[in-house]
Chain A
Amino acid sequence: MDIESVLKLALKYGASEAEIYLLTSRAVSLKTSDKIISSSTSKVASLGIRAAVGKKVAVVGTQDISDEGIKKAVEAAVHIARASPEDPDWKGFNEKVESTSIEGLWDKETAEAGPEVLREVVDSALQAVFEGSKYSRPVRGSFTTSSSVIEIVNSYGGPVRGEGTSATMSINVKAVVDGREGTFNDFDASVSLKKLRFIQIASEASKKAPEFAKATRIRTSTYDVILDTLVASSIINVMLSPALSALNIQERRSPLKGKLMSEVLSPELIIEDVGTDPELVSSRNFDDEGYPINDKIVFDSGVLKTYLYDTYTAKKEGIESTGNAWRTYSSNPAPSPNHLVIKPGDSSLNEMISEVKEGVYVLRTIGEWLSNPVSGNLNATVTHAYLIRNGEIQGTCKGFVISGNFYRVFKDRVRLLSKEFRHSIRVSSPHMLLEKIKLAGE
Chain B
Amino acid sequence: MNKALKHALGLGPQYVEVKAQEYVYEFVRVNNGVLKEYSKSNSAGIGVRVLYDGRLGFSSTNILEEEEILRSVEEAISAAKASEDRVEMVDREVRKDRKSSVLKEDPEEVPEEEKVKVVMEANNAARADEAIKSSTTYLGMLKDKRYLITSDGVDLEWSVVMTGLAQVSVAAEAGNMERVHDSKSRVAGWEFIRDSDWNSFTKGVSDLAKEALRAKQPPAGKLRVIADPDLIGLILHEAFGHASEGDLVGTGNSVLQGKVGNEIASPQVSIVDDGLVEGGYYIPYDDEGSPKVRTVIVDGGVLKHFLTSRVWANRLGMSVTGNGRAQDFKNPPIVRQTNLYMLAGEWSKEEMIRELREGLYLTGRGAGGGEVDPSAGTFTFSVGPSRIVRNGELGELVKGTIVSGYILETLKGVEAVGKDTIIKTSVFGGCGKDGQLVRVGYGGPHVMIKAITVGGR
Contact = CB atoms under 8 A, between A and B. Distances in A.
Interface of A: 28-31, 33-46, 57-66, 69, 72-73, 76, 79-81, 83-85, 87-89, 114-116, 118-119, 137, 139-140, 142, 172, 174, 181, 183, 220, 251-253, 255, 329-332, 366-367, 369-372, 374-377, 379-381, 383, 398-403, 438, 440-442
A383 B79 CA distance: 35
A36 B85 contact: yes
B285 interface: no
B82 A183 contact: no
Given A137-B252, A331-B27, 10 more contacts: A37-B251, A40-B57, A40-B60, A139-B375, A140-B253, A172-B375, A252-B172, A370-B368, A372-B179, A372-B368
B370 to A, nearest CB: 7
A338 B62 CA distance: 29
B330 interface: yes
A38 B35 contact: no
B82 A36 contact: yes
Contact of B373 (A36, A116, A383): A383
B319 interface: no
10 contacts: A30-B82, A38-B56, A59-B39, A114-B78, A115-B82, A255-B177, A330-B40, A332-B36, A366-B378, A375-B178
B62 A63 contact: yes
A118 B373 contact: no
B455 A379 contact: yes
A440 to B, nearest CB: 4
Interface string B424-457: 0000000000110000000000000000011111
The 5 closest A-B pairs by CB, nearest first: A330-B41, A115-B82, A367-B380, A63-B43, A381-B380
B39 A60 contact: yes
Contact of B376 (A36, A72, A183): A183
Contacts of A114: 78, 82
Given A45-B63, A251-B134, A116 B41 contact: no
A438 B179 contact: no
Nearest to A126: B84
B35 A85 contact: yes
Contacts of A251: 31-32, 36, 134, 136
Nearest to A72: B42
A85 to B, nearest CB: 5
B116 interface: yes
B170 A252 contact: yes
Contacts of A30: 82-83
A389 to B, nearest CB: 22
Contacts of B380: 366-367, 370, 379-381, 401
B153 interface: no
Contacts of A172: 253, 375
Interface extent on B, as a size class? Answer: 35 or more
A374 B6 CA distance: 55
Contacts of B269: none
A73 B217 CA distance: 48
Contacts, number: 281
A213 B332 CA distance: 34
A43 B63 contact: yes
Nearest to B383: A370
B58 interface: yes
A226 to B, nearest CB: 19
A58 to B, nearest CB: 5
Given A59-B39, A251-B136, A64 B179 contact: no
B15 to A, nearest CB: 15
B263 interface: no
A80 B43 contact: no
Nearest to B435: A142
Contact of B177 (A81, A332, A374): A374
Contacts of A72: 42
Contact of B38 (A34, A59, A183): A59
B83 A377 contact: no
B453 A441 contact: yes
A64 to B, nearest CB: 4
Nearest to A366: B371
Contacts of A366: 371-373, 378-380
Interface in B199-228: 217, 220-222
B240 interface: no
Contact of B61 (A43, A59, A84, A253): A43
Contacts of B453: 399-401, 440-441
Contacts of A375: 176-179, 399
A174 B25 CA distance: 40
Given A367-B370, A367-B381, A372 B455 contact: no
Interface in B54-112: 56-64, 68, 72, 75-76, 78-85, 111-112
B62 A36 contact: no
Contacts of B456: 403, 440
Given A38-B85, A64-B62, A370 B170 contact: no
Contacts of A33: 85, 250-252
B332 to A, nearest CB: 5
Contacts of A380: 380, 402
